[in-house]
Amino acid sequence: MTDKKLLMGNEAIALGAIEAGVQVVTGYPGTPSTEALETIARYAKRCGIYTEWSSNEKVALETAVGAAYSGAKALVTMKQVGLNVASDPLMSLSYIGVKGALVLLVADDPGPHSSQTEQDTRVFGHFANIPVLDPATPQEAYELTKLAFELSHEFEIPVILRTTTRVSHSCGDVEVKAAEPAPVEAIEEGFVKDRRWTIFPKLTAERHPWLESVQEKLSEHFSELNFNSVLGSGKIGIIASGVSALYVKEAVKTVRDFEELFTLFRVGTVYPFPEKAVLSFLKGIDQLIVAEELDPYLEEQVLQLIGKFHLPVDVYGKKNGFFPVSGEYNVDIVIDSINGVLVTCEESLRLSHASPAVSRKKLPPLPIRAPTLCAGCMHRTVFYAFKQAAKQLKKEAQTDTIFSGDIGCYTLGNAYPLNMVDTCLCMGAGISLAGGLSRTNPKAKHVAFIGDSTFFHSGIPAVINAVYNGANITLAVLDNRTTAMTGHQPHPGVGVTVLGNASKAIEIADVVKSCGVESVRTINTVDPDSLESCVKAAKKAMNFNGPSVLVFKGKCVGIAKPDKYYKIKPETCTGCGFCIKELGCPALNLDGDKPVIQDNCSGCGLCAQICPSEAICIGGVKL
């Protein structure tokens, strides 16, 4: 018996993992991967699954590895840039292998929608000699998750389940084994001491041939799986993986007798490449279209195969300009790219309907909504305070200030009119960047912004380095008591785990003091008149000789709903627009020639503190 559910791709992965018997789940929140662990957390206590949000992806993987060494089935969740953080243990782990099973859910972000990069995990799997499965639908995500655990256990190697934003966040009907997940088996064997678990050069040399042999066995095995499927019988081949395969199917379905014109090969097991199955497919076609987001991974694999076996197949993909080399695809992009190939091949194909083969209606573009800090976000108060402090120092001592940002909601401090982020690289890098900038720009002031969750993720080593090497920087920790950008997950500073259990809340101020920072101060941004105290504290910290830290404590307005709102007194307002020009708060807008405060006001009162005509006051209580 099976049960059909409407599931998001990440939810389907979670249920597939539970059905596969996962016993330990770790991760770090990162869009678009986050909902997988959150879904498992809802069932964790009932099913007997240990689940945690770890301090970063490296720690998450290492925790899961310890469980897998003990015979457990473990899952680690992260986004594609998180794989960079976890790459050090992962590269060694591919040589060592596992005893139980270990699956890494890595969610790529073509576009990108919420990431620093568009890196392609398929290529990383190839680089690391780790199998990669690439689902296209929530149903495939569910099934391939179960396959990933089976493969990991059978071949004693970690397996990557690679999704993209559209797979992780799309919804569809999924046939699952049971309406409600059943409890998983307890871990029985435990860790058994073996020289295999201790990686040294001698062991690496011994295991490398084994690792290469596993790739060959998996390629053979993958060629027999129905996740690599063929549709159609035409001489024009199209190969695609993941959601790109769905775009292709949607693009060509309007063509009359498209199955006689095209043969579509969907690759679900992208690495090791299912060479035997693809070779059989290639021998029946003359032209090959490669449709894939991000890197030309499939294109390079088929080009090698064509060269190896001297096949008379022309290839059309990214490398010869028929498909975009970057960005997220959609059906329209795939239609245009396929039509471009068919126009090029029309004479050799002798097809009267080949140019164009697919038609589509041009739709108007969607309206653009620029990303911005929420109305009432505490970060806006901190940014504005440092902006004013920097202006005062510039006026008093002719001193410039360089602001180094980081990854989180506060990255949006770069937007107009705040303009308060001069650098942004990766999680935790703002502190180190400020340290480097201070060496080459000694006359300037250097301020680094970091969020509370990012501080625990990778900020602490940078703080230690700043203290050890005497970097003259100021660190502003924006502590809104949550991992806000990815959906308000807890972290070590909150005092609660993902399972809702109470835990020791780690105080950031105590941590930086223990790292040797001498100038540390905690400031409450919740007070309606906090701006002046924030400006004074910022200026004092920036004038301190050596590393200084300000911990700004407040509430995320996405969690702590406001209890009051502000209004503008029309009889007092001069219409100068200073509040709008200075803050960029989405609750402030123009109505004619005067500003108004809209219903999304969160009651922070920052606009009231800067209004030159004192025309803004508390309007009432939020119901």
Question: DSSP string spanning 9-20?
Answer: HHHHHHHHHHHT
Please indicate, yes or no, whether residues 337 and 405 belong to a single structural domain of this protein.
no
The reply to whether 604 sits in an annotated binding site is: yes
The reply to whether 579 sits in an annotated binding site is: yes
The reply to whether 374 sits in an annotated binding site is: no
pTM of this structure: 0.85
Residues 6+ apart with CB under 8 A from 119: 80, 81, 83, 84, 108, 294
pLDDT tens per residue across span 161-192:
999 999 999 999 999 988 788 888 888 778 88
* DSSP bridge pairs for 176: 3
The reply to whether 409 sits in an annotated binding site is: no
CATH number for the domain spanning 528: value is 3.40.50.970
| 533-538, Cβ contacts within 8 angstroms, sequence gap of 24 or more | 534/381, 534/382, 534/385, 535/385, 535/388, 535/389, 535/392, 537/385, 538/385, 538/386, 538/388, 538/389, 538/447, 538/474, 538/476
Q: What pLDDT shows up at residue 355?
A: 42
The reply to whether 607 sits in an annotated binding site is: yes
The reply to whether 345 sits in an annotated binding site is: no
Domain endpoint, select from 177, 195, 213: 195
pLDDT tens per residue across span 184-214:
888 877 888 888 888 888 888 999 999 999 9
Parent domain of 25 = 3-195
The per-residue DSSP string of 107-122 comes to EE-SS-SS-S----HH
Please indicate, yes or no, whether residues 335 and 424 belong to a single structural domain of this protein.
no
CATH number for the domain spanning 327: value is 3.40.50.920
pLDDT tens per residue across span 241-295:
999 999 999 888 877 777 788 999 999 999 999 999 999 999 889 999 999 999 9
Q: What span, in angstroms and rounded, lies between the C-alpha atoms of 159 and 156?
A: 9
What does the block give as tokens for 538? 């910022």
Residue 211 lies in a domain: no
Residue 413 lies in a domain: yes
The one-character DSSP state at 423 is B
Please indicate, yes or no, whether residues 574 and 546 belong to a single structural domain of this protein.
no
Q: CA geometry: angle at 329 spanning 324 and 335, to 5°?
A: 80
Nearest Cα to 428, choosing from 466, 458, 467? 458
- How much of the chain exceeds pLDDT 70, in percent? 97
Residue 401 lies in a domain: yes
Please indicate, yes or no, whether residues 169 and 275 belong to a single structural domain of this protein.
no
Nearest Cα to 76, choosing from 28, 115, 120, 38? 28
CATH number for the domain spanning 600: value is 3.30.70.20
Q: What span, in angstroms and rounded, lies between the C-alpha atoms of 378 and 484?
A: 12
User: How many domains, the chain?
Assistant: 4
